[in-house]
């Protein structure tokens, strides 16, 4: 078993070798927090050190929080896992399936053969994909006149047919807003974040959080890292349930321990 000093050395070496500009690590079990450490810098080439209260964009780890919120609504009887969502949300019923392209390069679209359900969305079997991993969807988004908003992509297969990682949980976030009549930020705050004491987690950054924000980086083919300039609006136009949250290590650990039964929402 690794001892704390050995774990510290592993993370410090990763920073020194340039594998990462900085890292925050925490470990816990049913007895409490077993390990915590912060190493390196919040942004490569800059002075602020990585600390446990550094705020980071948690990207797709947002999906777990959104899924918990959806299951709360299921528990309350406000939505079911297997109802055809298009019957109450026409926007979902109107989504077409992309079958490819004709000889002239025009997209071939058709109605879905089955209805999308919340179970499909939560399990990534609704037919949505991410264009970075689906060449046909990427080609469609580059087509003149294609709608490219956050929830505008077509399906790439019929609901329930197979699995594909994509924007399904973005749709779940939007559905939560329609049912709760609250923004996703407000629903999360009231029903998940505040009850768990997650004061450093949200879609909207306070001024004090911006001063603790970690940078984002791009890795080049030679393995080197470059800092990226990313403009973060004061309030996003769309609360992305699939990847829009910011958090800290200790805050997100509270959420994970809740999932493991340590606390109840």
Residues 38/51, Cβ–Cβ less than 8 Å: yes
CA distance 97 to 153: 9
CA distance 31 to 12: 26
Tell me whether residue 63 is one of the annotated catalytic residues.
Answer: yes
Residues 155/141, Cβ–Cβ less than 8 Å: no
Tell me whether residue 224 is one of the annotated catalytic residues.
Answer: no
Residues 140/146, Cβ–Cβ less than 8 Å: yes
Strands (E), the chain: 22-29, 32-40, 56-57, 96-101, 107-111, 216-219, 225-228, 246-247
- Chain CA centroid to CA 77, Å: 25
Q: Closest Cα to residue 9, out of 147, 17, 172, 207? A: 17
Tell me whether residue 60 is one of the annotated catalytic residues.
Answer: yes
Annotated catalytic residue within 60, 114, 199, 224 = 60
Annotated catalytic residue within 130, 165, 183, 227 = 165
The structure tokens listed for 144 are 């003149």
Q: Which residue has the tokens 């929080």?
A: 65
Residues 127/157, Cβ–Cβ less than 8 Å: yes
The secondary structure of residue 49, as a DSSP letter, is B
The structure tokens listed for 24 are 């925050």
Provide the residue count of the chain: 265
The structure tokens listed for 120 are 């499909």
The structure tokens listed for 139 are 């080609």
Annotated catalytic residue within 35, 41, 49, 63 = 63
Strands (E), 102-196: 107-111
Residues involved in catalysis: 60, 63, 165
């Amino acid at each position: 078993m690794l001892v704390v000093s050995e774990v510290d050395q592993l993370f410090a070496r990763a920073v020194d070798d340039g594998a990462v500009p900085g890292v925050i690590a925490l470990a816990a079990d049913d007895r409490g927090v077993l390990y915590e450490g912060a190493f390196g810098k919040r942004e490569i080439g800059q002075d602020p050190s990585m600390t446990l209260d550094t705020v980071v964009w948690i990207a797709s780890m947002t999906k777990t929080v959104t899924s918990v919120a959806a299951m709360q609504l299921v528990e309350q009887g406000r939505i079911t896992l297997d109802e055809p969502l298009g019957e109450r949300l026409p926007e979902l019923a109107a989504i077409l399936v992309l079958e490819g392209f004709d000889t002239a390069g025009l997209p071939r679209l058709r109605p879905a053969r089955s209805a999308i359900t919340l179970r499909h969305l939560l399990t990534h079997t609704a037919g949505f994909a991410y264009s970075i991993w689906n060449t046909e969807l990427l080609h469609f988004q580059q087509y003149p006149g294609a709608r490219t908003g956050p929830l505008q992509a077509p399906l790439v297969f019929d609901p329930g047919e197979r699995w594909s990682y994509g924007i399904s949980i973005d749709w779940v976030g939007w559905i939560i807003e329609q049912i709760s009549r609250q923004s996703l930020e407000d629903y999360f705050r009231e029903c998940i974040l505040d009850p768990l004491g997650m004061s450093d987690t949200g879609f909207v950054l306070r001024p004090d959080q911006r001063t603790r924000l970690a940078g984002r980086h791009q890795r080049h083919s030679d393995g080197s890292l470059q800092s990226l300039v990313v403009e973060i609006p004061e309030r996003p136009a769309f609360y992305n349930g699939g990847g829009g949250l910011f958090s800290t290590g200790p805050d997100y650990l509270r959420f994970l321990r809740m999932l493991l039964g340590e606390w109840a929402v």
